[in-house]
Amino acid sequence: MVQCRRMFYCIIIQCETVDPLKVKAIYSNEGNTITSTISFNEDGHLIDFISNDRYYSADGKRYLNFPWSTPVRKYTNVNDRQVPAYAEAIWHLPEKEYVYAKFNLIGIE
> Could you state, in order of their start, the residue ranges of all structural domains in the chain?
2-104
Q: Render pLDDT for 8-22 as a digit per residue (tens, 0 to 9).
A: 555 667 888 999 999
> How far is the C-alpha of 77 from the C-alpha of 85, rounded, in Å?
9
Determine contact, residues 21/46, Cβ cutoff 8 Å: no
Q: Render pLDDT for 33-44 as a digit per residue (tens, 0 to 9).
A: 889 999 999 999
* pTM attached to this predicted model: 0.79
Q: Could you tell me the end-to-end alpha-carbon distance of the chain, in angstroms, rounded to an integer?
A: 24
Q: What integer pLDDT is reported at residue 27 of this predicted model?
A: 86
Q: What integer pLDDT is reported at residue 4 of this predicted model?
A: 42
Report DSSP letters for 79-103, one per residue: TTEEEEEEEEEEEE-SS-EEEEEEE
Q: What integer pLDDT is reported at residue 6 of this predicted model?
A: 45
pLDDT at 2 over 70: no
Q: What integer pLDDT is reported at residue 107 of this predicted model?
A: 86
> How far is the C-alpha of 99 from the C-alpha of 91, rounded, in Å?
6
Which helix (H) or strand (E) segment holds residue 32: the answer is strand 32-40
Neighbours of 69 (CB within 10 A): 19
Label residue 30 by pLDDT band (50, 70, 90).
confident
